[in-house]
Chain A
Amino acid sequence: AQSVTQPDIHITVSEGASLELRCNYSYGATPYLFWYVQSPGQGLQLLLKYFSGDTLVQGIKGFEAEFKRSQSSFNLRKPSVHWSDAAEYFCAVGDSGTYKYIFGTGTRLKVLA
């Protein structure tokens, strides 16, 4: 069965430091992969997505993610975190067969001034 694992429930980084949020998936075929961000009191906003092509994808707000098929991973990165990046981040995989999206349980990011 398809699944998405985000191993880190909470991550704390200092403002200006680099960030990497981990996401591992289980899916039989080539997956559609997504990262969403949920700011406090808001809905989820799409940061970036991947299906094919260049394995390093750029998104909004300065985020990027790298698809590594051999590791079944799609980790989210940002070179320099801003205080406004404090939010919860969700990784998701889209199943083209069932048209369902499976979400990870989220990683909550705290940014220290």
Chain B
Amino acid sequence: EAQVTQNPRYLITVTGKKLTVTCSQNMNHEYMSWYRQDPGLGLRQIYYSMNVEVTDKGDVPEGYKVSRKEKRNFPLILESPSPNQTSLYFCASSNGQVGYGYTFGSGTRLTVV
């Protein structure tokens, strides 16, 4: 089944403790992206990657890092999480054609206390 897999689904952590949210897709998609979803703000793009070793900032990149060492994986790293990064995070992938649209993961609900 074609899918984007995120882990974990839920995570509670403390301020300053480094964490990684993993994302993997099995569709050989070139384009991958991370979004955060907050009430009233919709989805905001954090980082995206056009291909292996090619990443760029989205609209709200502060406090996040990403890497794209393999085509299928695109982990999101929070080096020193803060409470304002409490949010619902989505990974998404696409085949490189803007008209294709996204396939989304099921989301990761992160709480930073």
Contact = CB atoms under 8 A, between A and B. Distances in A.
Contacts of A94: 98-99, 101
Contacts of B48: 100
Given A46-B101, A94-B98, A94-B99, A105 B41 contact: yes
A98 B99 CA distance: 13
A5 to B, nearest CB: 11
A36 B31 CA distance: 18
B64 interface: no
Interface stretch (A37-45, A64-72, A79-87): A37-45
Interface in A54-91: 90
A34 interface: yes
Interface in A87-112: 90, 94-96, 99-101, 103-106
Nearest to B106: A43
Given A51-B99, A94-B99, 11 more contacts: A41-B107, A43-B90, A44-B92, A44-B104, A90-B43, A100-B45, A100-B48, A101-B45, A103-B43, A105-B41, A106-B42
